[in-house]
Structure 1
Amino acid sequence: MKFSPLLLTASLLAASQLAANPLRDSVVKKIDSDYAHLESLYTDLHRSPELSLMEEKTAAKIAAELRSVGFEVTEKVGGHGIVGVLKNGPGPVLYYRTDLDGLPILEETGLPYASKTRVKDLSGSEVATMHGCGHDIHMTVFTGTARALAALKDQWSGTLVFIGQPAEEVGAGARAMLADGLYAKFPKPDFVLAAHDSATLPAGTVGFIEGAAWANVDSMDITVRGRGGHGAYPHTTIDPIVLAARIVTTLQTVVSRETRPLDPAVVTVGSIHGGTKHNIIPNEVKLQLTLRSYTEEVRQRTIATIKRICRGEAIAAGVPEELMPVVELAGGQFTPATYNNPELTRRTKNTIASWIGADNVRNIDPEMGGEDFSLYSTTREKVPATMFRLGAVDPKLYAESVKNGTPLPSLHSSKFAPLPEPTIKTGVTAAVACVLDLLAKK
């Protein structure tokens, strides 16, 4: 069943008594007439995800979309990044960012346009791919926003810089684009905006978080070393599998017993690998961890505590000094916490509420997920930035979940399936409203 923004507008007017706004109504009609194009783009992107640092074809598609409506596009900025610039007289410079990359997940949504794509990743392993975090939604909203604003040049003044960013999922893309001179080669921003879909909000709604919104993210590698040997003679070995098990168990106390209960923190062991055969005790076991925090103090304390635990458990197991565990942070993968500028966030929230109705705007809680969008506002320029959350869940499924407590598929789930039409139309409407407000003609 098709979802009409005109019906949405009518229901919102009735529910929220929105003030008359001819510009809003014309934008909604424009988005409605453009939806067939956006739907086609969305399903194409959904069927053919590309992994982080490998987004060549995806970037080319989005670059072509921007060029088709008059943006001057530069490709291969910080890898497969793209930058589209549309100048329209005097006024502020507004950056709007989308991410491009998919994930190594086998899709299990059952959708007619589900991804069946398999590729070789950077290590040479063949993997299934999926847009399990909704970056295909982000790119489609981004494109729809660009198309609408290009057609509304008489309604705003200033410069748009639309960024297609690679490698968000590995926390590398924003850093690479900034290092490649994003703020030096292109007009410097006065504001930076982005949208991220939500697996916990119904389609047609938009969520806001003022201040700290997403967590610091560190990736940590631990090599637990021992002395291997025959499984029948364990007394002649120092078993790194047993030691790794002890470390994993003791790591559970980092948050529960060594972090102040009011300080958010997460320590998750996401991978453990060791050994090759039933009767062989190996020389080493490898662990991979993700660490989450909101403050630098908690971050540093968590890292130090993990190192202390690894060393202490190794000493207890009789490991000699030269075989102490090796604990390393994955180079270049730290993502700082995302901070939504409160003033800008309140302004965009009020603007969007006036366009889609206050009943469809939610205040939501900070999350322990990570986003390298944070890097655009942590340079020396200290640019105000905000990211709003775009509801993507079928409202019927959302209502059932609220009523029955049935869990909804999360982001990065093989079953995560946004409801495209209301999500995309609401996203474009919200983004266009923000830009028309921030770049309003004086």
Structure 2
Amino acid sequence: GEGDPSFAVNKNMRFRFLHPLRIACFLVPLLLQCNLGSTSSATETPEESSIELIQKDDRSRQQPDAAETSKTTFGIVRKKKDGSPSPRVVVDSPSGTNENADGSGTERIKLDGDDADEVFRNAVLSFYKTPSSSSSISSLEEAINKKVHSPSTNMFQYIQTMRRTLHRMPEILYDEHKTSSTIASMLDSMPGLTYTTGWAVNTHVGKQMPGKGGTGIVAQVGTGKPPCVLLRADIDGLPIVEAQSTVYKSATSGRMHACGHDGHSSMLIGAARVLSSVSDAINGTVRIIFQPAEEGGAGAKRMIEEGVLEVYPPVQAAYGMHLWPTLPSGSIGGRPGVGFAAADMFTVTLTGVGGHAAMPHLTKDPVVAASATVTALQTIVARNLSPLDAGVVSVTYMKTGEPVYNVIPETVTLGGTVRSLSENGLLQLKQSVERVAIGVAQSHDCTVSVQWSFDYYPPVINDGNLWENMIEGIAGRVARVGPRKVNDIEENDGSSNKIPDGSKWDYIDGGAGVTPVEPTMGGEDFSFIANAVPSSFLLLGQGTGEALIDDEGANGKGRISDSNEGGLRGTIKAPTNYGLHHPKFAMDESVLPLGVELHVNLALQTIKAMWNEKESGASNSKLFERGSVLSATN
């Protein structure tokens, strides 16, 4: 069936299975050699506690049976040979006692009641059947909270171990084969979830991005019909040498998850687990994408070009989130309008005439020309951009040839980045960089070439209507930490709840509200999704400056203690306020369940809002049309 045509968008819908990902040979050893851990029942047989390792080469070619085909036209349901869904996952030990990078001695984690949680399923069914009200929303959110945070579900242990597994195997750009394989093996254990692999093929294979790609994964739960909401996580790491000394540190030389993408993926895997357990109760479709090559490779753009937003049912709203070390752990931040800047990267190559350093008059010195170029580029923001606009032009490296003291080189290469809070501003900065580089080169009698990245990132725009109607309420109720309200709490109470800048914050058990955050000049390729459909991108605070991490999940509620005396407790591990892309970046894992809770709430409640909008009459509703963000960006 084609479903309700009133949900359709005016685009040419297309679907195809992409080339299958050949990743069977990359399966991590920890998924092959495992001992039954303490969380599993002692009476279980080896067969009951095993997970089928299917051949990934055939993942996109195998056909589902008739029953599965009638349920969905997207992806393939993966089952054990006996026809039953694989009930458990195999990931490495969350205790941190396993120091073997190969994953030996790992532990099996079972999520109790995923396949038989009728209470949660009934709560979801009731939510969609009853008229929208504060009580129906509260009942759903309470059920999700219990599903995610109850110690009996082992959710914290599940996503923590998944995150540590991924953290050990960072891969960059379009080479995330082990990462993709590991995520796929987790999805295999989820009944009610379908998925396809092979997404995000690299269309610019070359020296800067040699990987061929095809490491993206697109999963779905629900009816396979409109309305459709998308949840996204990025999966790639960075070419950074990790400086932390945790037992789960990177096992790959020169590679590190220094931007939290291992946490993003783990939170979305946890959300997929929760949603898949009630897939038949969801009155619409949730599309879940694991996207490669965010760090400069525009993986989101590749997946959009391949149809991830247009394949039936078309995506009508999208959400993403990023762990944020400059916000207190448990807070949720963001703003309507521009959240992340537009960004591009440049390479300037100056060519002159080399020669002996003692005879510079016989040369055309590109080193002097390059030095003048760096200085001149700094005038662009100061003298070519309005003082009311934000912009960045940064030169980040310069290569002047071999380290020889008596030779003037023939060529010099320098590079950097430009940023602006608008796409037009970015294009203006790019033109200015080229103009300055050409002018300086000519004045030094050198030639010059300016090259840009294959895909510049537009700004991330948080849809104003979506933010007002969905984010402020849902994210505000999930948030555990928020700005202190002077009217509610006296300033002289002697509280030590502070973040590094000295601000005071409330540590409470939910409902802290969304923390307003100014736009960042960082780039994020979720912008390609946000430019195509109404979207919101949130920041999940994970920094305290004190690095308090509780091995038992901080009372199962993110990181908040019952006493609320200071709000934080646990064992000191490592500071979690190091910036993104820092070699010592560390994650406060206790906030990961909050990300799961937020993903699930946004997906289920947005689908309900779409139905409400449709039933109220399309002419009277503007919720999921592109909202005006003019006032939010000023």
TM superposition score category, shorter chain reference: 0.7 to 0.9
Name the structure 1 match of 2:427.
300
**SS of the counterpart of 1:83?**
strand
Matched, 1:234 2:360: yes
Whether the aligned pair in 1 keeps the contact of 2:166 and 2:262 (CA below 8 Å) is yes
Closer/same/farther in 2, CA of residues 395 and 205 from structure 1, 3 Å limit: farther
Name the structure 2 match of 1:68.
189
Shift of 1:397: 5.4
- Letter paired with 1:210: P
Q: Show the 5 A alignment for 1:319-334.
A: 319=445, 323-330=446-453, 332-334=454-456
Name the structure 2 match of 1:47.
168
Matched, 1:82 2:217: yes
In structure 2, C-alpha distance between the alignment counterparts of 1:281 and 1:67, rounded to whole Å: 60
In structure 1, C-alpha distance between the alignment counterparts of 2:315 and 2:576, rounded to whole Å: 40
Shift of 1:258: 1.6
Deviations 1:103-148 (A, max 9, x none): 0011112222111312xxxxxxxxx111100001100110111111
In structure 2, C-alpha distance between the alignment counterparts of 1:49 and 1:89, rounded to whole Å: 33
Whether the aligned pair in 1 keeps the contact of 2:232 and 2:320 (CA below 8 Å) is yes
Shift of 1:193: 0.8
Q: Percent identity?
A: 34
Which of the two has greater strand per residue?
1
Q: Show the 5 A alignment for 1:421-440.
A: 421=590, 423-440=591-608
Name the structure 1 match of 2:394.
268
Name the structure 2 match of 1:341.
463
Deviations 1:300-338 (A, max 9, x none): 322222222222222322x1xxx42111222x2311111
In structure 1, C-alpha distance between the alignment counterparts of 2:312 and 2:275, rounded to whole Å: 19
- Structure 2, unmatched stretches of 5+, are 1-93, 96-133, 201-213, 480-509, 549-565, 567-574, 613-634
**SS of the counterpart of 1:37?**
helix
In structure 2, C-alpha distance between the alignment counterparts of 1:234 and 1:196, rounded to whole Å: 51
- Letter paired with 1:61: T
In structure 2, C-alpha distance between the alignment counterparts of 1:350 and 1:208, rounded to whole Å: 13
Closer/same/farther in 2, CA of residues 430 and 185 from structure 1, 3 Å limit: closer
Matched, 1:25 2:142: yes
- Letter paired with 2:606: L
Shift of 1:75: 0.4
- Structure 1, unmatched stretches of 5+, are 3-17, 119-127, 400-405
- Letter paired with 1:352: A
In structure 2, C-alpha distance between the alignment counterparts of 1:42 and 1:305, rounded to whole Å: 42
Closer/same/farther in 2, CA of residues 184 and 115 from structure 1, 3 Å limit: same
Of 560, 576, 586, which residue of structure 2 is paired with 1:417?
586
Q: Which has the higher contact order (CA 8 A, sep 6+)?
A: 1
Name the structure 2 match of 1:373.
526
Shift of 1:415: 1.1
When the two chains are superposed, the root-mean-square deviation of aligned CA atoms in Å is: 2.4
Larger Rg: 2
In structure 2, C-alpha distance between the alignment counterparts of 1:407 and 1:160, rounded to whole Å: 32
Whether the aligned pair in 1 keeps the contact of 2:218 and 2:287 (CA below 8 Å) is yes
In structure 1, C-alpha distance between the alignment counterparts of 2:147 and 2:239, rounded to whole Å: 36
Which of the two has greater helix per residue?
1
Of 372, 391, 398, which residue of structure 2 is paired with 1:246?
372
In structure 1, C-alpha distance between the alignment counterparts of 2:231 and 2:361, rounded to whole Å: 61
In structure 1, C-alpha distance between the alignment counterparts of 2:346 and 2:340, rounded to whole Å: 19
Name the structure 2 match of 1:287.
414
Matched, 1:359 2:518: no
TM-score by length of 1: 0.86
More divergent stretch after superposition (195-204 vs 32-41): 32-41
**SS of the counterpart of 2:145?**
helix
Deviations 1:244-269 (A, max 9, x none): 01110111111112211111110111
In structure 2, C-alpha distance between the alignment counterparts of 1:243 and 1:101, rounded to whole Å: 37
Whether the aligned pair in 1 keeps the contact of 2:422 and 2:458 (CA below 8 Å) is no
In structure 2, C-alpha distance between the alignment counterparts of 1:186 and 1:163, rounded to whole Å: 15
Name the structure 2 match of 1:6.
none
Matched, 1:183 2:306: no
- Letter paired with 2:581: H
